[in-house]
Amino acid sequence: MPSVGGRVRAGIARAGGKRVPALAATLACATAALGLTGCAAEPDPGTVTVLNSATDTAEHTANQRFFDRCAKPLGIKVEQISVPADQIASKTLRMASSDSLTDILELDGSELPQFAQTEGLRPLKEAGVDTSGFSASATSLGSYDGVQYGVARSVNSLALIYNTKLLEDAGIDPPRTWAELREAAKKLTEGDTYGMAFSASPNADGVYQFLPFFWSAGGDEAKLDNGKGEAALQLWKDLLADGSASRSVVNWNQQDVNDQFVAGRAAMMINGPWQVPVLSAQKNVDWAVAKIPVPEAGKDAVPPIGGTVMAVPKNEDRAREKRAGDLLNCLNSEQNQLQWGESVNNVPTRASAAQAYAEQNPKLAPFAELVTTARSRTAKVGTGWPIVGDALAGAFQSVLTGRTSPEQAMDRAQQQASAGK
Amino acid sequence: MTTITSIAPAASTGKTNSKTGRAPRRQRLLRWLFVAPALTYMGLFFGYPLVNNILISFQHYTPKTYFTGEAPFNGLDNWRAVFANDLFGDALWHTLLFTVGSLLGQFTIGLALAVFFSRRFRLSGMVRAVLLLPWLVPMVVSAVVWRRILDQEHGMLNTVLHAIGLAPADGVPWLSSPSVALLSAVLVNIWVGIPFNMVILYGGLQEIPRDVYEAASLDGSGPWRTFRSITLPMLRPVITVVLVLGFMSTVKILDLILALTSGGPADSTQTLGTVTYQLSFLQLDFGQGAVVGNVLILISALFAVLYLRANRADFGKGK
Amino acid sequence: MKQPTNLPAAVPANRPTRSVRLRSAWNTTAALLILAVLLFPVYWMLNTALQPDSSVAATEWFPTAPSLKNFDTAISTQGGSLLTSLGVALGAVVVCLALAAPAAYGLAQFGLRGGQTIVFTTLITQMVPGIVIANAMYSAYAELGLVNSYLGLILADASLGLPFSIVLLRAFMVSIPTEVVEAAMVDGANRFTAFIRIVLPMSRNSLITAGLFTFLFAWSDFIFALTLNTTDDVKPITLGIYQFVGAHVSDWGAVMATAVLSAVPAAVLLVVAQKYIAAGITGGSVK
């Protein structure tokens, strides 16, 4: 180690007058001489690189298994670069600025429009990806301005997950309407256990959980003050006022909510299928999945659709785009989608695969059904979503902490959203 | 092995200036060679990004820019947009409260601990070293732990406070109430900053020669008087360093707040740091993000100027 | 620690009377209490790591049935990352001190024109947010081939401690009497040799302090490690922790175990460094 420091210092000292270039040269030589350079100048033609957020070992290896399965017949290798989910966007941009983008980008669905707008992504059709046969919601998740740039292997949504034993003991059926939800949550609240738990954190998690209530009530993300969304704010507020949900929901992300549920501190929670492995691994709580309650009986729930989409950045070497496209085609074959969906507990996006999935996983069928009516966050507002989402977060946070009434909150949110445009 | 025994900087300045001023050209150049490597390095690692950041704040800088390199200048548009945003004023105020609160807490506790650990007793060195451990804990982990500790219903802090009769029946809403959350963030940041303050102040205390204390105790001055009339004045250069550096790192704080509250509830813990992050990395409006970043740098520059003026002796020209 | 017995000269009235011993015992008790309060979050990490089967939200106060399962996971996957962190942090310390010590000395002793401006600028640089630096550096690094290299990360991490080290070292070096160095130069040493032979040893305490903090800054760096690496070739422990932190689901037990484990080598180093600071102090007071 000391030799590295010494060399660099000597180099800088020697650089003297013509500082910058000389230093740069010295640095470059130093790395080469020490054999420490790991950055290949030219990408390997036989390797397809993927940027994703599969940082944890389980997800990373699961991904690699499917990649390898598809890469072998194509005679290529697949390499993943995984960074924490909230870093994907900035990492992508940095790579773009230095022309070192990966061959495939796996972005969160809600981020896609912003990248599509840069014109740095190749329309999937042009990369040779077969985009037919997908569910409408999945297609919309990967599209911007009517062009499909991203393909989702599987998608998720939200549902009501409940503690079967607690509901049985109280003689309650899973609630289907908001009125039933309030009633049930009140009855189920006892001692250390709240009837209901959800995430109202001021970031993507909280917004994602607010949407099924907001949309089911008739809320419109393009016109926040249309007078319908307030009902959803009122419901959340009531749950807290009744004492049926902890006031800490304003801090909880979706993982925290699940932790509370598993600890037996919540009889019901809003959460997604990605929690299934955690729920299955523990023995404390028996659970089941139900649809998200709706404002009135007979109405359809409108949950958000979530998940990642895979996109192909433009590349001067069109052959690389083609290889990426081939890989995507294989990953999205009916069989691969079905198996992938089962391995991550998400719903496949090919209609045929989704159906098979629902049949084979009855416990998760409510998710599979929800996905058919689910809505994409960016379908209406496109690149404006981050600002709208932020405005919504501001609205439910200020209502839940008693700062404003639901009406004021929505008016203010609309002002914020239109000011940000 | 010898160590510096006389620290009083004011006494030893002056007089040599005339000598160094007359140094031959070659020698003067040689002297610059001591500073040149560090300057070059700082130019590359700080100057270049800083200039970049200033430029960006006057540009329409979007995700597209990263792909095409095009970033048209848009004058003061970004600045106007930021100043028109209500959140900016709030964040400025929160940043001020957060910084002052954190510094006060960190410094007072750090100094108290430094004085305490200057006494000789069994395990003193061990305990002092182990107190640095919080620093080694990655922020994502500290935040998870602290969120559990501060949980209103089941948190360890409320449980303890309740047991000794200091908390109301339903607990203190540490993180869930907009009027308390900023205070909680300050508390956690004080916890993070104590080791830093303690170690540097401890080092400073050790440089104060022991015979000064002995003289004082012969004069019959009590511990509090000794502290005020000897320890504090002699420690002043170090105190300056601690406070200035503490200010610089506290005012731009980001990850702690993001991990603890994400700026909530109801934006009550939004600081300039979190607003920059939100603008640049969530809304991908890099121009406006850069504006807030520049405001931060401007504030610190202002602070630094004021402080340096008041403490010329500690940060002045040297000899 | 055996300090008191080592320093008979430092404590003139060192008769171990009963009251002195009693006071020492009181102090030790107080110190342990302080430790208990300040280190509670660290205890909680350990506690959570030792209870793999309980939910994170409902961890018991004490690990009544401790299990090392989480530590097994952590050790088997994170051993290499620990070494990387250690190497990178030590490298950053070397680079940082090599740059900071001469600069601090120059600024403290030479009366350079514009010296004050430089100190001021140094302070301001401390303000540039890490993410801004990381963003700007990435393109430069990509062109220089420094992405995914140890040297690249070491150089970047050194920036975390550099302004701090310069300011701190300078504050100490201002008080070095000019006469000491000039006496050495009369003896034929040139300025550089005098710096190495006289100034550096005299500044040992502050060098160790600056080094210590640079080490801590570099050790806890996340932004540079994330930004300047695209592969797993250079993966410090702060990134390694993310092997258990997923986008949706995290294995907090394993995360806590990794965090505890990652603190161990650094803590050992801290204890050693503290001992050196203490040794330097003895030298001072003996004189």
- Distance in Å from the first CA to the final CA of chain C: 22
Residues of A in contact with B178 (CB under 8 A): 401, 403
Nearest Cα neighbor of A3 from A35, A25, A40 is: A35
Contact yes or no for A78/A71 (Cβ under 8 A): yes
pLDDT digits (tens, 9 = 90+) for B244-284: 888 888 888 888 898 899 898 999 999 999 999 899 888 89
Can you tell me which residue has the tokens 């016109």? Answer: A223
Can you tell me which residue has the tokens 């945003």? Answer: B85
Q: What span, in angstroms and rounded, lies between the C-alpha atoms of C59 and C126?
A: 39
> Which residue among A56, A262, A277 sits closest to C243, beta carbon to beta carbon?
A56
Q: Is C10 exposed, middle or buried, given 0-12, 13-18 or 19+ CB atoms closer than 10 A?
A: middle
Tell whether domain B74-311 is in CATH 1.10.3720.10: yes
Residues in a beta bridge with A147: A144
User: Which has the minimum average pLDDT: A241-250, A305-314, B72-81, B233-242?
Assistant: B233-242
Q: What span, in angstroms and rounded, lies between the C-alpha atoms of B317 and C113?
A: 9
Nearest Cα neighbor of C209 from C264, C139, C142, C281 is: C281
Q: What is the mean pLDDT of residues B154-170?
A: 87
For B109, half-sphere exposure in the C-beta direction (CA atoms, 13 angstrom radius) is: 19
Q: What is the pLDDT of residue A421?
A: 62
Q: What span, in angstroms and rounded, lies between the C-alpha atoms of A345 and A357?
A: 10
Question: Over 80: is that where the pLDDT of A224 sits?
Answer: yes
pLDDT digits (tens, 9 = 90+) for A363-406: 888 888 888 788 999 999 999 999 999 999 999 999 999 999 99
Most confident of A25-29, A306-310, C245-249, C263-267: A306-310
Q: What span, in angstroms and rounded, lies between the C-alpha atoms of B4 and B209?
A: 9
Q: What is the pLDDT of residue B317?
A: 42
Q: What span, in angstroms and rounded, lies between the C-alpha atoms of A138 and A154?
A: 8
Q: What is the pLDDT of residue A11?
A: 31
Q: What span, in angstroms and rounded, lies between the C-alpha atoms of A239 and A196?
A: 8
Q: What span, in angstroms and rounded, lies between the C-alpha atoms of A357 and A338?
A: 6
Can you tell me which residue has the tokens 């339903």? Answer: B170
Q: What is the pLDDT of residue C54?
A: 62
C-alpha torsion C267→C273→C274→C278, nearest 10: 160
Question: Over 60: is that where the pLDDT of B288 sits?
Answer: yes
List domains and CATH numbers for chain A.
45-154+304-369 (3.40.190.10), 158-302+380-418 (3.40.190.10)
Residues in chain A whose beta carbon is closer than 8 A to a beta carbon of chain B?
A: 9, 12-13, 15-16, 19-20, 23, 86, 89-90, 93-94, 96-97, 114-115, 117-120, 192, 201-203, 246-251, 256, 265, 386-387, 390, 393-394, 397-398, 400-401, 403, 419-420
Question: Over 70: is that where the pLDDT of A59 sits?
Answer: yes
Q: What is the pLDDT of residue C283?
A: 36
Q: What is the pLDDT of residue A223?
A: 95
What's chain C's Rg over C-alpha atoms? 23
| Sequence-ordered list of residues with C-beta below 8 angstroms from that of A421, at least 6 positions apart, any chain | A384, A387
Does B236 contact C at CB distance below 8 Å? no
C-alpha torsion A356→A358→A360→A366, nearest 10: 180
Does A19 contact C at CB distance below 8 Å? no
Question: Over 60: is that where the pLDDT of B171 sits?
Answer: yes
Can you tell me which residue has the tokens 């250390």? Answer: A192
Average pLDDT in chain B: 84
Q: What is the mean pLDDT of residues A14-31?
A: 38
Compare all CA atoms of chain B with the CA of C116 and give the residue at the minimum distance: B317
Q: Where would I find the beta strands (DSSP E) of C241-282? A: none
Residue C128 DSSP SS3: coil
| Sequence-ordered list of residues with C-beta below 8 angstroms from that of B312, at least 6 positions apart, any chain | none
Question: Over 60: is that where the pLDDT of B8 sits?
Answer: no
Question: Over 50: is that where the pLDDT of B9 sits?
Answer: no
> Which residue among B84, B152, B268 sits closest to A248, beta carbon to beta carbon?
B152
Alpha-carbon separation of residue C230 from A81, A327, C89 (angstroms): 6, 21, 19
Q: What span, in angstroms and rounded, lies between the C-alpha atoms of A325 and A348?
A: 19
Compare all CA atoms of chain C with the CA of A86 and give the residue at the minimum distance: C247
Nearest Cα neighbor of B95 from B304, B280, B256 is: B256
Does B166 contact C at CB distance below 8 Å? no
pLDDT digits (tens, 9 = 90+) for B77-95: 999 999 999 899 999 999 9
| Sequence-ordered list of residues with C-beta below 8 angstroms from that of B316, at least 6 positions apart, any chain | B13, C116
Does A39 contact C at CB distance below 8 Å? yes
Does A298 contact C at CB distance below 8 Å? no
Q: What is the pLDDT of residue C17?
A: 73
Question: What are chain C's partners, defined as 3 or more CB pairs within 8 angstroms?
Answer: A, B
Q: What span, in angstroms and rounded, lies between the C-alpha atoms of C156 and A90?
A: 18
Nearest Cα neighbor of A235 from A223, A245, A222 is: A245
Question: Over 80: is that where the pLDDT of B286 sits?
Answer: yes
Residues of A in contact with C94 (CB under 8 A): 1-2, 4-5
> Residue A394: phi, psi to the nearest 5?
-60, -40
The letter for the amino acid at A266 is A
Smallest CA–CA separation between B108 and chain A, in Å? 30
Nearest Cα neighbor of B199 from B120, B131, B138, B104 is: B131
Q: What is the pLDDT of residue C99?
A: 96
Q: What is the pLDDT of residue C276?
A: 65
Smallest CA–CA separation between A38 and chain C, in Å? 5
Question: Over 70: is that where the pLDDT of B33 sits?
Answer: yes
Residues in a beta bridge with A156: A306
pLDDT digits (tens, 9 = 90+) for B217-239: 888 888 888 888 888 888 887 88
Contact yes or no for A167/A267 (Cβ under 8 A): yes
Question: Over 50: is that where the pLDDT of A10 sits?
Answer: no
Q: What span, in angstroms and rounded, lies between the C-alpha atoms of C281 and C277?
A: 6
Residue A39, both tokens = 């950055």
Question: Over 50: is that where the pLDDT of A8 sits?
Answer: no
Question: Over 60: is that where the pLDDT of A4 sits?
Answer: no
| Sequence-ordered list of residues with C-beta below 8 angstroms from that of C157, at least 6 positions apart, any chain | C88, C89, C91, C92, C217, C218, C221, C224
In three state form, how does the secondary structure of chain B look? CCCCCCCCHHHHCCCCHHHHHCCCHHHHHHHHHHHHHHHHHHHHHHHHHHHHHHHHCCECCCHHHHHHCCCCECCCHHHHHHHHCHHHHHHHHHHHHHHHHHHHHHHHHHHHHHHHHHCCCCCHHHHHHHCCHHHHCCHHHHHHHHHHHCCCCCCHHHHHHHHCCCCCCCCCCCCCCCCCHHHHHHHHHHHHHHHHHHHHHHHHHHHCCHHHHHHHHHCCCCHHHHHHHHHHHHHHHHHHHHHHHHHHHHHCCCHHHHHHCCCCCCCCCCCHHHHHHHHHHHCCCHHHHHHHHHHHHHHHHHHHHHHHHHCHHHHCCCC
pTM for the structure as a whole: 0.87
Q: Kindly give the confidence (pLDDT) of every residue in chain C, 287 residues in length, as a single tens digit, with 9 standing for 90 and above.
A: 333 333 334 444 455 677 778 888 898 999 999 999 999 999 999 998 998 766 667 778 888 888 888 898 888 888 889 899 999 999 999 999 999 999 999 998 887 888 878 888 887 777 777 777 887 888 888 888 899 999 999 999 999 999 889 988 888 788 788 888 888 888 777 888 888 888 898 888 889 888 988 998 899 888 899 889 888 888 999 898 888 888 778 888 888 899 888 888 778 877 777 766 554 443 333 22
Residue C279, both tokens = 């040794």
Residues of C in contact with B47 (CB under 8 A): 125
Q: What is the mean pLDDT of residues A261-274?
A: 95
Residue C10 has what DSSP assignment?
T
